[in-house]
Amino acid sequence: MKAEKVPLDFHGVESAKISPRRLLVAILIGFVLFQVNVAIEVNIGKLPTIEVLNGTDVILPCTFSSCMDYKDSSFWWTFQKNRTEKAKEIIQIKLNDKRPQVTLPDEESRVTLVGDIKDKNISLLLTDVDFEDTGLYTCFFKNPQEMNQEANATLQLIVVSELVEVDNTLTLIILSVVGGVIGFLILIFIIKKLVKFIIKQVGKKKKECLVNSCANTERGHYGSKTDLKTPTKA
The answer to the question of residue 27 being in a domain is no
Same domain membership, residue 175 and residue 156: no
Same domain membership, residue 188 and residue 130: no
The answer to the question of residue 231 being in a domain is no
Neighbours of 115 (CB within 10 A): 22
The answer to the question of residue 82 being in a domain is yes
pLDDT at 31: 43
pLDDT at 114: 95
The secondary structure of the chain in percent helix, strand, coil, rounded to multiples of 5, reads 35, 30, 35
pLDDT at 14: 47
> For 12-170, where are the E strands, in sequence order?
40-43, 49-53, 58-60, 63-66, 74-80, 88-96, 99-103, 111-113, 124-126, 135-143, 149-160
The answer to the question of residue 219 being in a domain is no
Same domain membership, residue 52 and residue 113: yes
Same domain membership, residue 49 and residue 154: yes
pLDDT at 203: 74
Same domain membership, residue 142 and residue 75: yes
Same domain membership, residue 120 and residue 80: yes
Same domain membership, residue 52 and residue 81: yes
**Structural domain range at position 205:** 166-212
Q: What does each of the 234 residues of the chain score in pLDDT, given as a tens digit? A: 555 554 544 455 444 456 666 666 555 554 444 444 457 899 999 889 999 999 999 999 999 998 888 888 999 999 999 999 999 999 999 998 778 999 998 888 999 999 999 999 999 999 999 999 999 999 999 999 888 999 999 999 999 998 666 666 777 788 888 888 898 889 888 998 888 888 877 777 766 666 666 666 555 554 444 454 555 554
**CATH number of the domain to which 85 belongs:** 2.60.40.10
